[in-house]
Amino acid sequence: MLLWLRRELRLHDNPALAAAMETGRNVLPVFVLDEATPGPWAPGGAGRWWLHHSLTSLAADLAARGAPLVLRRGPYATEIPRLVAETGAAAVHAGLPLEPWARQAMREVHKALPARLHVHRTTLLFEPAAIRTQAGGPYGVFTPYSRACRARGLPAPPLSAPARIEAPPPPASDRLEDWRLLPTRPDWAGGLRAAWTPGEAGAARRLATFLGPPLAGYGAQRDLPGVAGTSMLSPHLAWGEISPATIWHAAEAAGGAGLFAFANELLWREFAAHLLWHHPRMPEAPLRAEFAAMPWRDDEPGLRAWQRGRTGIPIVDAGMRQLWRTGWMHNRVRMIAASFLVKHLLLPWQRGEAWFWDTLVDADLATNAASWQWVSGCGADAAPYFRILNPVLQGRKFDPDGAYVRRFVPELARLPDRHLHAPWDAPAEVLAAAGVTLGATYPRPLVAPAAGRQRALDAFARITDAA
């Protein structure tokens, strides 16, 4: 049996692994790095770093159970049939893909191996096509979708990891080091190493930490970037180092006031997958067609300033610097930073989506695309376009003591709280006492919040008038 691993890099609660072991005595785990088929959506820099270390961890876990991890590089549709021919595998067990290119590649593999390919749900709580409206169509609004999911009851209990995996003699395998997944900038890699431990064991430790006070206080603290109030399980979920069912059952067992809100976050991930399944062009094209005519600006210097956390808006800059340093950004700040890009700067959401894809260790095509379209007002269940987040008010509300901004924008650390989120409004003597010189030690805003808001509303009015 061939176990084709993609986004389920784990041994616990892996239905594809369980099925392979149930139907065959020998199981050979394989991972194929296909960078051609995804095109622009091949793993970004942060994702490649995570993948290298996740595969290293997975290979060690497999070796401890007596099995190798065979690595191959090339198109899925070529390498999987080739591995079957080399090994004589009677069947291939794989996880259900969500990405449009991976679904197409899976269809091509099925054509080559019509009776041997068996696909299992490995990364979601529900089959993406299984949740339907009463009319039989897909959902376009999150709340009724989440109710339909909850009506199905708890997911099945997670499967245990096998104690031993019998494997046949392996064919030739690539060396992971030869794939050159690791970044060449050691300073950036150092920031990722300090923040994360990729692999199944790292995921289990992260979950155990979250099940204490963070889960109990999740409903009240998840929007506060200055405190450790979120699970930070997203990269482990994105790479399948832990299953959503494992997380769901563990959270249910732990209980607490934050359980409902946290479960909704897991269901939002399911909703994003549901949307991508039914709208495969979602990563590139707005779900609301009128937004294709949005009069976006062309501002490369502004885009670069946003990417590097030099917009002059402290909460936005803190988020973008956290992203660059750690490969992750707090969810509330993701919304603020994204809104600033597409509304105040009036730059296409696809540019922000691409930057997040390259720099997020938790880059997930469905969640990334659905979230950017939601913020931009052009997706399913989207916030109205005219609901424009004021980054100053958002900073004052969710980072009231400035802990988050001071951590990632240290040049503003000495400003008093009342001026921290809008340093351009601070008196000259306050700026001088804090060692801040606008335009020198810290940039002036690329656009004033009020002016950016009005520019966005004017642009939106142009496409609504045209409609």
Alpha-carbon distances, residue 326 vs 17, 192, 194, 400 (angstroms): 32, 5, 8, 23
Stretch 309-319: mean pLDDT, rounded?
98
Please check whether residue 176 lies inside any domain of the structure.
no
Number of domains observed in the structure of the chain: 3
Which DSSP string do the residues of 304-329 spell out, in sequence order? HHHHTT-SS-HHHHHHHHHHHHHS--
User: pLDDT (tens digit, 9 = 90+) per residue, 204-226?
Assistant: 999 999 998 999 999 999 999 99
Model confidence band, residue 380 (pLDDT cutoffs 50, 70, 90): confident
Please check whether residue 179 lies inside any domain of the structure.
no
How far is it, in rounded angstroms, from Cα 316 to Cα 385? 19
Cβ pair 66, 166 in contact under 8 A = yes
Please check whether residue 329 lies inside any domain of the structure.
yes
Label residues 48-81 b or e (16+ Cβ within 10 Å = b). Answer: bbbbbbbbebbbebbeeeebbbbbbebebbbbbb
Q: What is the pLDDT of residue 150?
A: 95
Confirm whether residue 363 is marked as ligand binding. yes
CATH number, position 447: 1.10.579.10
Domain span including residue 94: 2-123
Instruction: Please tell me whether residues 35 and 81 are part of one structural domain.
Output: yes
Q: What is the pLDDT of residue 294?
A: 92
Give the contacts of 195 (CB within 8 A, at least 6 positions apart).
Answer: 325, 326, 327, 328
User: pLDDT (tens digit, 9 = 90+) per residue, 157-178?
Assistant: 999 999 999 999 999 999 999 9
Stretch 187-192: mean pLDDT, rounded?
80
Residues tagged active-site: 265, 268, 296, 331, 349, 372
Instruction: Please tell me whether residues 23 and 119 are part of one structural domain.
Output: yes
Confirm whether residue 151 is marked as ligand binding. no
Handedness of CA 30, 239, 199, 264 (dihedral sign): negative
How far is it, in rounded angstroms, from Cα 37 to Cα 369? 19
Instruction: Please tell me whether residues 42 and 137 are part of one structural domain.
Output: no
Please check whether residue 327 lies inside any domain of the structure.
yes
| Whether pLDDT at 382 is above 70 | no
Confirm whether residue 340 is marked as ligand binding. no
Structural tokens at position 403? 């802990």
Instruction: Please tell me whether residues 259 and 320 are part of one structural domain.
Output: no
Instruction: Please tell me whether residues 313 and 424 are part of one structural domain.
Output: yes
Provide the residue type at 248 as one letter.
W
Task: Please choose, from the candidates 181, 245, 187, the residue with its C-alpha nearest in 3D space to the C-alpha of residue 51.
Answer: 181
Q: What is the pLDDT of residue 186?
A: 62
User: pLDDT (tens digit, 9 = 90+) per residue, 278-292?
Assistant: 999 999 999 998 899
Instruction: Please tell me whether residues 315 and 394 are part of one structural domain.
Output: yes
Instruction: Please tell me whether residues 213 and 355 are part of one structural domain.
Output: no
Supply the mean pLDDT for the chain: 95
How far is it, in rounded angstroms, from Cα 415 to Cα 376? 32
| Whether pLDDT at 467 is above 70 | no
Please check whether residue 162 lies inside any domain of the structure.
no
Stretch 410-437: mean pLDDT, rounded?
98
Higher pLDDT, 90 or 25: 90
Confirm whether residue 364 is marked as ligand binding. yes
Confirm whether residue 233 is marked as ligand binding. yes
CATH number, position 142: 1.25.40.80
Confirm whether residue 124 is marked as ligand binding. no
Provide the residue type at 393 as one letter.
L
Instruction: Please tell me whether residues 271 and 416 are part of one structural domain.
Output: no
| Whether pLDDT at 310 is above 80 | yes
| Whether pLDDT at 247 is above 80 | yes
State percent of the chain over pLDDT 90.
89
- Residue at a domain's end among 123, 145, 176: 123
Q: What is the pLDDT of residue 225?
A: 97
Instruction: Please tell me whether residues 137 and 100 are part of one structural domain.
Output: no
How far is it, in rounded angstroms, from Cα 173 to Cα 436? 55
Confirm whether residue 385 is marked as ligand binding. no
Q: Using CA atoms of 85, 86, 88, 89 in order, give the dihedral in degrees to the nearest 10.
A: -90
Task: Please choose, from the candidates 139, 135, 101, 122, the residue with its C-alpha nearest in 3D space to the C-alpha of residue 274.
Answer: 139
Label residues 336-348 b or e (16+ Cβ within 10 Å = b). Answer: bbbbbbbbbbbbb
Please check whether residue 249 lies inside any domain of the structure.
yes
Instruction: Please tell me whether residues 224 and 89 are part of one structural domain.
Output: no
User: pLDDT (tens digit, 9 = 90+) per residue, 26-61?
Assistant: 999 999 999 988 889 999 999 999 999 999 999 999
Please check whether residue 161 lies inside any domain of the structure.
no
92 φ/ψ angles, rounded to the nearest 5 degrees: -120, 125
Please check whether residue 268 lies inside any domain of the structure.
yes
Instruction: Please tell me whether residues 389 and 335 are part of one structural domain.
Output: yes
| Whether pLDDT at 354 is above 90 | yes
- Residue at a domain's end among 78, 99, 123: 123
Confirm whether residue 362 is marked as ligand binding. yes
CATH number, position 113: 3.40.50.620
Lowest-pLDDT choice from 17-21, 277-281, 360-364, 385-389? 385-389
Provide the residue type at 60 as one letter.
A
| Whether pLDDT at 465 is above 90 | no
- Residue at a domain's end among 278, 300, 333: 278
| Whether pLDDT at 116 is above 70 | yes
Give the contacts of 64 (CB within 8 A, at least 6 positions apart).
Answer: none
Give the contacts of 303 (CB within 8 A, at least 6 positions apart).
Answer: 341, 345, 347, 351
| Whether pLDDT at 325 is above 90 | yes
Model confidence band, residue 466 (pLDDT cutoffs 50, 70, 90): low
Cβ pair 444, 438 in contact under 8 A = yes
Instruction: Please tell me whether residues 308 and 395 are part of one structural domain.
Output: yes
| Whether pLDDT at 402 is above 90 | yes
